[in-house]
Structure 1
Amino acid sequence: MWLGLYMDRFSEMEAFATVVDRGGFTDAARKLGLSKSAVSKHVSALEARLGARLLNRTTRRVSPTEIGLAYYDRARRVLCEAGAADALVTSMQSVPSGLLRVSVATDFGVNHLSPVLGQFMAEFPDIKVDMVLDNRYAELISEGFDMAVRIGEMSDSSLRARKVAETRLRMIASPDYLGRVGRPQRIDDLKDHRLLHYSNQSSGNVWRVTDRLANAGRSALPGG
């Protein structure tokens, strides 16, 4: 209800100001893309709501009254501010600008993003990039990040995500370690081995491994 009332008041204000600018209802209607009767109704509704006559109407011309001229000055400022607000949004969409805060893992940021960051900033000079290199999983919304680069599976989230590349994970061990405890041949063999765990991994304190050759399901192994 309040939104509809505000829109009616804005339409009335715009119709009145355009009539004053154009010096008549016919030209104002042409400017606004409305019928002459619609513009007249808007102005009449405005005068009725304010309880004051804003326009002097004759068969040959339309001019603002003293009260109407005072109201016009204020109304035109409001309309100009609204137009400036619309133009600001349009310009920000057509030419990207502002601060872009990005959360990214340290190694990935240094090895992959840093080399292309200069080219990005040259192409979009109005964007200021704040790239935070951190191996923890930051909370994007609460910490004020616009985007993040993550490696691994996307957890259930209301955030939008896009796959940009694939990476391979390798299971490695030192020759000395394998010489002492033997080389694992199957997933189940890993239960008898000491596993190093990366504490910032999104999967938690587990290793997730899939045996594709045996068509086995995913196994969760405790890090040790």
Structure 2
Amino acid sequence: MEAFATVVDQGGFTDAAKKMGISKSAVSKHVSALEARLGARLLNRTTRRVSPTEIGLAYYDRARRVLNDAGEADALVTSMQSAPSGLLRISVATDFGVNLLSPILGDFLLEYPDITVNMVLNNRYVELISEGFDMAIRVGELEDSSLRARKLTDTTKRMIGSPSYFQKYGRPMKIDDLNDHKLLHYSNQANGNVWKVSAPSGEKRQVRTAGWLTVNDGQSLLNAAISGLGIAYLPSFLYADAMKSGQVEEAIPGLPVETLGIYAVYPPGRFTQPKVRAFIDFLARRYLDKGPDLW
């Protein structure tokens, strides 16, 4: 098949033999054997030129696709065995990137010196393929089921406030009590300043009330909660250290704790690029003993 396609590409047996690095007679034998197997003449041969027959032209189109796929398969095996390298573009939410990704990136780059990283921190939902990202780290429910995903770990989400805040304004005993408190909000929430909170019955309740601060950064919300400005609703990877040191406390301990998955997501396909696979494996190792509350 390769000999026949090369004859068509080169316009003759002599040039095809040079291209393939074999003798002209060997090319001729391959093409003759192919024609004999198919029971059809694929080439019109004259003393001046060689051209495909109508059947040969139709066969050539399909054969060339098969040969191209075979070449890509060979290249794939080579690539999968090669050392990870190249530019790795990552999209990650600001809170997670600053607190949990930035501190360990140096270790990854030292382990894989042929990889360079472009990490984009933002709090919007990016389209990986159209925006040119190799992968993203996402927290919570995955919206796009067409992407491939690997779960790295879990995080919990709790309402937290400082002891000084609870001393001054009292502690809410139930969800309805939050209406009388100052809540600290993310400004990038699609549904506005609304919290979706699980009641002890399992029912999802919506809480909407104003506070002193709305900001698009979780660390700023944590700092505000520590300062006594209100109650924040944050993931454990942000508040864990502050809670351990007593700077913040859980606002309503009796409520069910929300658990969110943390995922590495990447475009679909049968082949995962070595640089992407290396980074996801690295993250899985580093987060193996992390979460949902321990950070």
With structure 2 as the length reference, what TM-score do the two structures score?
A: 0.49
2:177 corresponds to 1:193: no
Q: Aligned residue for 1:37?
A: 33
Largest Rg, 1 or 2: 1
Q: Aligned residue for 1:71?
A: none
- Pick closer, same or farther for the CA change 1:101–1:203 going to 2, 3 Å: farther
Q: Which one of the candidate residues 4, 12, 20 is aligned to 2:4? A: 12
Q: Aligned residue for 1:91?
A: 78
Counterpart Cα distance in 2 of 1:115 and 1:162: 21
Counterpart Cα distance in 2 of 1:20 and 1:180: 87
Alpha-carbon deviation of 1:196?
A: 1.4
2:123 corresponds to 1:131: no
2:147 corresponds to 1:159: yes
Structure in which a larger fraction of residues adopt helix: 1
Note if contact 2:179-2:209 (Cα within 8 Å) is conserved in structure 1.
no
How many pairs does the alignment contain? 184
2:112 corresponds to 1:112: no
Q: Aligned residue for 1:47?
A: 43
Deviation string 1:112-143 (CA, Å, 9 cap, x unpaired) is 22333233334434332111123343343343
Amino acid at match of 1:12: F
Note if contact 2:87-2:115 (Cα within 8 Å) is conserved in structure 1.
yes
Alpha-carbon deviation of 1:146?
A: 1.8
Structure in which a larger fraction of residues adopt strand: 2
- Pick closer, same or farther for the CA change 1:173–1:155 going to 2, 3 Å: same
- Pick closer, same or farther for the CA change 1:128–1:87 going to 2, 3 Å: farther
2:151 corresponds to 1:150: no
Note if contact 1:100-1:128 (Cα within 8 Å) is conserved in structure 2.
yes
Q: Aligned residue for 1:75?
A: none
My pick for the range that moved more, 120-129 or 146-155, is 120-129
Identity of paired residues, percent?
47
Deviation string 1:57-80 (CA, Å, 9 cap, x unpaired) is xxxxxxxx6656xxxxxxxxx9xx
Alpha-carbon deviation of 1:88?
A: 4.5
Q: Which one of the candidate residues 143, 167, 170 is aligned to 1:182? A: 170
Amino acid at match of 1:24: S
Q: Which runs of 5 or more residues in structure 1 are unaligned?
A: 1-7, 54-64, 69-77
- Pick closer, same or farther for the CA change 1:20–1:216 going to 2, 3 Å: closer
Q: Aligned residue for 2:285?
A: none
2:93 corresponds to 1:101: no
Q: Which runs of 5 or more residues in structure 2 are unaligned?
A: 8-12, 51-63, 211-295
Deviation string 1:86-120 (CA, Å, 9 cap, x unpaired) is 65444333323332110112342233223332333
Alpha-carbon deviation of 1:198?
A: 0.7
Q: Aligned residue for 1:24?
A: 25
2:208 corresponds to 1:222: yes
Deviation string 1:166-215 (CA, Å, 9 cap, x unpaired) is 1122312244443444211112222232311112346653212113xx33
With structure 1 as the length reference, what TM-score do the two structures score?
A: 0.61
Counterpart Cα distance in 2 of 1:28 and 1:203: 71
Which is bigger in relative contact order (C-alpha 8 A, separation at least 6)? Answer: 2
Counterpart Cα distance in 2 of 1:145 and 1:20: 41
Amino acid at match of 1:216: G
Counterpart Cα distance in 2 of 1:152 and 1:203: 16
CA RMSD of aligned residues (A): 4.0
